[in-house]
Structure 1
Amino acid sequence: MAFLPIPPLDPEQPAWFPPASQALADPNGLLAWGGDLSPERLRAAYARGIFPWYSPGQPPLWWCPDPRAVFDTRRIHLSSRFRRRLRSSNWIVRADTCFDAVVQACASAPRPGQDGTWILPAMREAYGELHRLGHAHSIEVFDGDRLVGGLYGVASGEMFSAESMFSADPGGSKVALAALGHWLAGWGWPLVDAQITNPHLVSLGAQAISRGHYLARLKVLAAAAGRPGSWSGLAALPAASLAPVIPD
């Protein structure tokens, strides 16, 4: 990767990253390459608004795009039609009860325009370790005992960075996102980082803000105590309870 005009990361300095202002404009946000996916490096990255994303055969590539896609935890949008469907739903939402299964489902989910997955075995292993240390979390939607949707991501203080989500049944990921927003808003966490915007995320309420604005917010939120440790003790949330509290 020496041909890329970005610096390599030093394996001996897992907490070091170049300033986000040095990220490339094309491809948008590419900042550094190399290093590893150790818990220390991942935690340092997310606290700075940086995340890994790369393809098979590449070393880790590290990104901090501009603009940044974020959700206001109080304004995640579900359509009126979907909310009407939720009112009669028997789905239940839990947290941190099957993290590895959620990550595997996200890795296996077909994506329009994508061939394969960026959630490689090394990524699954790394985020699994971060989960066991209490810093990565999953939101899981169940129909009885069957997992029908979910998402996972990394908490840095009072910022949650969502990595990926999936639906085994239509709407499963929407419910997971709405439940995440419900819990985070209740704790006073204002934002969910969604990294890069797309039409689907916009339909759910994502907004694009400048990297500078995002990093300024993150600096304050990442310094907060947050909720390290497992979130599995959260009371199961009936999906139907989300219908009246999510604004149109």
Structure 2
Amino acid sequence: MNIMKNNNVKAAVDIVLYLIVFVLLQVIFLNGADLMGKHYGIDSAITMAAGTALSGLITIVIFLWRRWSPYSREYIATRPWTALVWVVLLSLGTIIPSQWMIEVLDVDMPKETLELMTKLLGTPWGYLAVGVLAPVAEEMVFRGAILRRLLEVMGEGRKWFAIIISALLFGALHANGPQFIHAALIGVLLGWMYSRTNSIVPEMLFHWINNTIAFVAYNMIHQTADGKLIDIFQGNQRSVYMALGFSLCIFLPSLFQLAQRLKK
């Protein structure tokens, strides 16, 4: 009993440490970049992208160095190419339903967060931060480190409890209503994939597709970061419902296929 209690306490301490390091790096680099930008008169969009990218890069380096998110080629060695294709399709199938759900819940994004997203999505350098480094860094922290530790102490019997805890932490770290809802639900999906593979490769791919589409959509359709589906489909509600139905026709078969194909 004491050994189990000690393991639980150690896991909790580890998880708190992971979160502190992750948040602290973001605070240091974002504020540092902002101060340097103001001092040298650099465009705030560029400094914001640089700060976010550096935060993600240092997070990756630290979590690899400390082996908080262990690196392994075991999953790739199984040549799971078909499963990864279904991961791509699953990610594509979540985008419109996620946005629709946020709109139905009518949760407004805070002005500060909207400004941050606009700056990041509005510059090519923002893609390095949002589309490339963020998927790797966040999956290493929330699945490779946090969920891994939770699964170690909770075991297979309480797997879903571990997945939900990690998903809620993932949502909470996104710090606002719309992103919390989206990130928490996506976090459950990503956690489920990790629990079946013990690898963050499928999750990084999913995350990369999701963030890349957000970046491309914003730059193709200005103000998508704060836009509505009805605006994207030029006021045609029927088109919105058709897009939602089409997305579910991609999402559900992909989920079924992954339930069969994702293996450790």
Q: Under a length normalisation based on structure 2, what TM-score does the superposition of the two structures give?
A: 0.29
Structure showing the higher strand proportion among its residues? 1
Structure showing the higher helix proportion among its residues? 2
For the pair shown, the structure with the greater C-alpha radius of gyration is 2
